[in-house]
């Protein structure tokens, strides 16, 4: 629900479909394909483990992330190595471009528009393109710096970081959809509480990362609902003009 329903990277691809029907087909097909994709990942891991039991090859100690690259470089035929490396770079570039594009798009809409730099009439198209490129460079540099930090094993680190943020994202989405009294302040407060709470859970509790999305969603939805109730109750006791200004 979080990755395929609320993630901007996926949403922008669904919005690019020719119709709502095509978008639904793409979403359902993606779920099926990803199931087989992750099954393939697991099978590759099992095969590598079995292969190394019978044909040992060099492997740096205490670094499981280098097992597959070492196998590619030392055990695969020369031509196949080139194809695999080209595929890895192609996938990395595709994911990076989609992520940077969605971050730049969200930044343009949320931050630039909030500051009055983008509006319905808008600044000129050339100015908007220039600003979007600046946002893309900013996020590219920031993500590059984050990538230089050692987060632990790549797979677990990537899924852990995504799970921490996905909980807040899904919680805010469900808050707006399910709670008719939800307010903007409540949604923001819920997301902040969810991020802080999940960061604390990650560093100070033994909870496995597979529960992070559920825990973050519950925290975000609960805090957002409580703050929204307080906002609506406060608005009900104020004059219409004061209530509008406070909200």
**Rounded CA separation 229/149 (Å):** 40
Tens of pLDDT, residue by residue, the chain (247 residues): 888 888 877 887 888 889 999 999 988 898 888 889 889 888 988 888 888 888 877 666 667 777 788 888 888 888 888 898 898 889 888 878 878 888 888 888 777 665 555 554 455 777 888 888 888 999 889 888 877 777 677 778 888 888 888 999 999 999 999 998 899 899 999 999 999 999 899 889 999 989 999 999 999 999 999 999 987 777 667 655 555 565 5
DSSP code, position 65: G
Q: Are residues 179 and 131 in the same domain?
A: no
pLDDT of residue 238: 62
Q: What angle do CA 108, 109, 115 make, to 5 degrees?
A: 80
Q: Are residues 89 and 65 in the same domain?
A: no
With b meaning 16 or more CB within 10 Å and e meaning fewer, what string describes 18-51? eeeeebeeeeeebeeeeeeeeeeeeeeeeeeeee
Reference 58, options 47, 46, 69; nearest CA is: 69
Q: Are residues 239 and 190 in the same domain?
A: yes
**What is the phi/psi pair of residue 33, to 5°?**
-65, -40
Helix segments in 115-153, DSSP class H: 125-147
Q: Are residues 47 and 31 in the same domain?
A: yes
- Residue at a domain's end among 149, 166, 197: 149
CB 224 within 8 A of CB 172: yes
- Residue that has been written with the tokens 């996020």 in this structure: 139
Residues 6+ apart with CB under 8 A from 182: 175, 176, 224, 225, 228
Q: Are residues 161 and 121 in the same domain?
A: no
Predicted model pTM: 0.70
Residue 240, classed as helix, strand or coil, is helix
Q: Are residues 24 and 90 in the same domain?
A: no
CB 9 within 8 A of CB 102: yes
- Residue at a domain's end among 73, 108, 124: 73
Q: What is the DSSP string of 22-59?
A: HHHHHHHHHHHHHHHHHHHHHHHHHHHHHHHHHS----
Q: Are residues 27 and 65 in the same domain?
A: yes
DSSP code, position 6: T
Q: Are residues 96 and 185 in the same domain?
A: no
Q: Are residues 57 and 136 in the same domain?
A: no
DSSP code, position 195: H
The tally of domains found in the chain comes to: 3
* Domain assignment of residue 54, given as a range: 1-73
Q: Are residues 106 and 93 in the same domain?
A: yes
Q: Are residues 59 and 107 in the same domain?
A: no
Q: Are residues 105 and 165 in the same domain?
A: no
- Residue at a domain's end among 48, 73, 98: 73
pLDDT of residue 120: 42
């Amino acid at each position: 629900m979080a990755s395929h329903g609320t993630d901007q990277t996926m949403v922008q691809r669904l919005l690019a479909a020719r119709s709502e029907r095509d978008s639904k087909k793409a979403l359902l097909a993606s779920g099926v394909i990803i199931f087989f994709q992750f099954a393939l990942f697991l099978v590759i891991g099992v095969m590598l483990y079995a292969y190394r039991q019978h044909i040992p090859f060099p492997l740096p100690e205490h670094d499981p992330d280098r097992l597959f690259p070492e196998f590619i470089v030392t055990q695969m035929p020369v031509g196949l190595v080139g194809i695999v490396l080209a595929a890895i770079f192609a996938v990395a570039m595709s994911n990076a471009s989609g992520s940077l594009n969605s971050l730049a798009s969200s930044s343009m809409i949320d931050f630039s528009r909030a500051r009055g730099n983008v509006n319905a009439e808008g600044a000129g198209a050339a100015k908007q393109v220039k600003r979007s490129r600046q946002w893309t460079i900013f996020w590219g540099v920031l993500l590059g710096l984050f990538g230089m930090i050692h987060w632990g094993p790549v797979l677990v680190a990537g899924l852990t970081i995504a799970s921490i943020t996905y909980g807040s994202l899904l919680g805010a989405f469900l808050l707006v959809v399910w709670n008719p009294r939800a307010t903007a302040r409540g949604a923001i407060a819920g997301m902040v509480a969810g991020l802080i709470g999940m960061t604390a859970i990650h560093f100070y509790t033994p909870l496995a990362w597979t529960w992070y999305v559920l825990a973050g969603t519950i925290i975000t939805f609960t805090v957002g609902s409580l703050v929204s109730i307080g906002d609506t109750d406060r608005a009900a006791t104020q004059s219409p003009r004061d209530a509008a200004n406070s909200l």
